[in-house]
Amino acid sequence: MTTAATPQPLAPFGARLHRSIGERGRLCVGIDPHPSLLQAWGLDDDVAGLERFALTVAEALAPEVSVLKPQSAFYERFGSRGVAVLERVVEVARQGGALVCMDVKRGDIGSTTQAYADAYLDPRSPLFSDAVTASPFLGFGSLTPMVETARRHGAGLFVLALTSNPEGHEVQRATAADGRTVAATVLDSLRELNAGAEPLGSFGPVVGATIDDAGTDLDVNGPILVPGYGAQGGTVEDMRRIFGATARAVIPSTSRGVLAAGPEAAALVAAARRANDDVAALDR
């Protein structure tokens, strides 16, 4: 659903992200208003609590970090009023200079995927984000409408490849008919989308900081979203081990690891700066 005139086209997401990493560092902070975090912050588990939590984080961290990643489910559970909060989070985050990755992990048959693309990757939508997380498990080609819409509007995609949860193995490490793992086929498709892009493509995989060994080439000439850093136990040493020379493409993402420092804005900023300094070690 579109609501406004199309604004000026943005530069490609990969180029904007590359510039932002140079200016602000490589950290992504997830804005995940867990009920337990609302409680820890002294807030009620209702729309007012959600709004206070999410906007406090967005206002504090939008001027600080390269990427903010709201997890849509935590807003959707409050229905349309929760989604209205999500729209505000996107607006505040982008106005503050952060890139927004909307974590929705969407994927569907192509015609429906176009509707998801319209919802998150078209600047006329109130939920327009710089990037979105996508699920390729209906077949990578089913994401084509998202790829094309992202290209048209300077947005990007992070496609699930080797996720941070242990259950991901059974699908992602399964072997396809041609002998490649499913994850390797996703990575190969992303590499094709990013061919020739400079300084960085706009299409990247999601690879958890908690995995043992990728077992495949993770360099796709695009950014790699790496959740699992922080609360799930992933460390900079893990990322060095998993990504090797490709660590320079990594966008480490933490939610609870920073959010638990709230509710004071100054404490959130301090926690984000510590994490940003920690992951800067990947540049060295």
Residues that bind ligand OMP (CB under 6 A): 30, 32, 71, 103, 105, 133, 163-164, 206, 208, 227-228, 230-232, 253-257
Name the active-site residue from 52, 69, 105, 106: 105
- Toward ligand OMP, which CB reaches closer, 200 or 260? 260
171/139 Cα distance (integer angstroms): 12
* CB nearer to ligand OMP: pick between 231 and 269: 231
> What is the rounded CA–CA span in Å between residue 181 and residue 276?
33
Q: Closest separation between CB of residue 16 and ligand OMP, Å?
A: 19
- Environment class of 24 (CB within 10 Å of its CB; exposed 0-12, middle 13-18, buried 19+): middle
Gap between the Cα atoms of 249 and 243, Å rounded: 9
Nearer to ligand OMP, 164 or 276 (CB): 164
For the packed helices 47-61 and 265-279, what is the interaxial angle rounded to 10 degrees?
Answer: 50
Find, among 140, 130, 153, the residue nearest to 189 by Cα: 140
One-letter amino acid identity for 191? R
Q: DSSP per residue over 151-210, as a string?
A: HHHT-EEEEEEE-SSGGGHHHHTSBPTTS-BHHHHHHHHHHHHTTT-SS--SEEEEE-TT
CA-wise closest residue to 27 among 239, 205, 280, 232: 280
d(CA 256, CA 230): 7
For residues 21 and 162, which CB has a smaller minimum distance to ligand OMP in the complex? 162
Give me the least distance between CB of 8 and ligand OMP, in Å please: 29
Q: Nearest approach, Cβ of 196 to ligand OMP (angstroms)? A: 26
User: Of 164 and 189, which has the nearer Cβ to ligand OMP?
Assistant: 164
Q: Is 105 a catalytic residue?
A: yes
Q: Which residue, 156 or 208, has its beta carbon nearer to ligand OMP?
A: 208
CB of 172 to ligand OMP, least distance (A): 10
Pairing of strands 131-134, 156-162: parallel
Q: Nearest approach, Cβ of 103 to ligand OMP (angstroms)?
A: 5
Q: At what angle do helices 110-121 and 144-153 cross, to 10 degrees?
A: 30
Q: How far are the Cα atoms of 110, 128, 144, 169, 178 from residue 113, in angstroms, in the given order?
A: 5, 15, 8, 25, 26
Compute the least distance from the CB of residue 177 to ligand OMP, in Å. Answer: 25
List, by residue number, the catalytic residues. Answer: 105
